[in-house]
Chains A and B, each alone.
Chain A
Amino acid sequence: MWSFGALLGNPGFFSSGPVQTALIVGACAALVSAVIGVFSVWRGNAFAGHALADVSSAGGAVSFLLGISPLLGFLGMAWIAAFSMEFLGIRIGRERDLTTGIVLGAGLGLSALFLYLDVTTTSTTGAAVSVMFGSLFAIPQSLITPALAASGSVFLLVGLFYRPMMLAAVDPDLAAVRGVSLRWVGLLQLLALGLAVAVCALAIGAVLATALLIGPAGAAIRLSRRPGQAILWAMVIGLTAVWGGIWMAYASYYWFSGNAWPVSFFVVALVFLFYLAAVLFAKVAGLAAHPKPVTWPHCET
């Protein structure tokens, strides 16, 4: 393994403990955000997903105060925010952005308070940077299992309720006609979205989580109209961006004589480049931007 990394110009890459943890947690974030991201983009919920991720930073800040796992902090706050947005009527078209923005502002205000309490009552060096922008290489090994569990739950939820979730996302009216309980599906979707946001925030920070949550999904829906294929594309793009970012951050140690650049920057930069490439490709290939799949989910398979 060691020689493989050296061969590719990154000696010690695969044998490094922090890199191994980063690769696993990063993969979790890329895969869950691909699935949830595609649903969110179809539902037109990208901004809500972004808001949830930002608001979850308050939970990350609280976790330092309480001494609990940051994943639990992110998750708790993401769920609280998700349900308050649902309760405040996030579904009503015109009001949606407004409500989301207001919850977002309130949540970030809480983050400011909790980060202040962090630094004034406990020794939490770098809390603000790690909560907001993440630090994949500084994630303790003990968080691998919880991250895997959270990602597993997302796949379980989506796997069990794929069809109703898909239908509700793409065409709520048709879903209602077909007897899908929109309330229950919406609830499940929020649970899954919260989990995905928590894993992403842990990996690349609450503020940057949105890049992973909607970037690969946004690129994927330009590459394929088939729901299953789009999810697969999002996974490939997300995984390439995250692992490529980790690889580049590791290599940057040699580029800048020991002053490695933050891994979150590379991940987000790659996501953006992939999105641009997908847009260009769709233009060249003559595919129109189409936020909704033409192949209805019930026709698939």
Chain B
Amino acid sequence: MLRFDYKKSSAFFTAGCRSCSHFSVLRVAMRMVAAGCVGLGMAQAAPATTIRAVGVENVYANVIGQIGGKYVTVSAIESNPNTDPHSFEASPAVAREIAAAQIVVRNGVGYDSWAKKILAADPNPQRKVIVVQDLFHLPQRTQNPHLWYKPETMPVVAQAVAQGLTALDPVHAAYFAAHLRQFDASLKPWYQAIARFRAQFGGTPVAVTEPVADYMLQAAGCDIKTPWNLQAAIMNGTDPSPQDVSTQNNLFKRHQVKVFVYNQQVTNSLTSAFLSNARAAKIPVVGAYETMPMGYSYQSWMLTEVHMLRNAVERGTSTTVLK
């Protein structure tokens, strides 16, 4: 049962996207009905003293929700699938939400340095702050910040979350521990899918726009042909070099890649040009996301990404939009 507090997260989602608020509220409502999700009712029936938790990236909020269950109220900050989280700008409401949280999980590696500033501006020794970068002792110069795509990341994060929640609410330690075991077990299908892909299609040459799914592609044994400097230029919105652009276009033109992994949230005129070149060369396109798409859990999202990759390599099917 998914106990992620949809009401809260959708409120944040709409706050970040006023122009489409009616539409997204409707969409969230429809999705909850469609999924038969009763999480909302459960959240309202939760004990009065739930732990206030914030996942700066909505994927971490989802994991907190899964571990903390009915004893936490979780909000997600970065959850709008139509924007680029790399260029997120925090509002005062977001700052208040983070400051009021008892437990915060953020990615680090420069991905959410604004959240670091907000936390530093409002010091609170009681607040548990989990920085995923620190859990793995990653240096600040780590080039690819998309840690949640790395298979070994989430069990460690979930464990840290369980520890944090237990420290805040020791009475329910057994409850959190049980959810942690459940969470770890639920990652198995994703791991198996990655291992099967690797065994069957290891060494598959792929092109990408930017490094969002690189960790997962590497775990699946894919050979990423796109030059790193081009990926970094697209991710950071800086000048690409013409040499790298030509290399990428030749990957499509000469059919040197089997799949094009396209980040739906980090787009500009250059990535759209790549997209049309890939389509013209009939290279299947797989859409990747920075933030967890609406209606998914962390596990189901990651598993779907592997399925999409497999469909592309096996049958040449393009799947760009996750619904």
Contacts and interface: CB of A to CB of B under 8 A. Distances in A.
Nearest to B228: A258
Given A17-B245, A125-B237, A138-B240, A119 B89 contact: yes
A189 B17 CA distance: 41
B243 A125 contact: no
B273 interface: yes
Contacts of A243: none
B142 interface: no
A126 B264 contact: no
Contacts of A122: 82-83
A18 B242 contact: yes
A137 B17 contact: no
Contact of A262 (B86, B227, B239, B268): B239
B60 to A, nearest CB: 21
A259 interface: yes
B229 interface: yes
A260 B239 contact: yes
Interface stretch (A128-136, A147-155, A166-174, A270-278): A128-136
B231 to A, nearest CB: 12
Contacts of B244: 253, 258
A17 to B, nearest CB: 7
B9 interface: no
B88 interface: yes
A295 interface: no
A123 B89 contact: no
B82 A121 contact: yes
A60 to B, nearest CB: 12
A79 interface: no
A250 B243 CA distance: 8
A127 interface: yes
A26 to B, nearest CB: 13
A130 B243 contact: no
Interface string B209-249: 00000000000000000010100001111111111111001
Contacts of B67: none
A102 to B, nearest CB: 27
B167 to A, nearest CB: 35
A135 B269 CA distance: 11
B126 interface: no
A137 B234 CA distance: 13
Contact of B239 (A116, A119, A138, A140): A138
B87 interface: yes
B242 A137 contact: yes
B83 A12 contact: no
A114 to B, nearest CB: 13
16 contacts: A19-B242, A22-B242, A119-B89, A120-B16, A121-B19, A124-B87, A125-B86, A125-B237, A125-B267, A126-B237, A249-B241, A253-B242, A253-B244, A260-B242, A260-B243, A261-B239
Interface of A: 12, 16-19, 22, 116, 119-130, 135, 137-141, 249-250, 253, 258-264
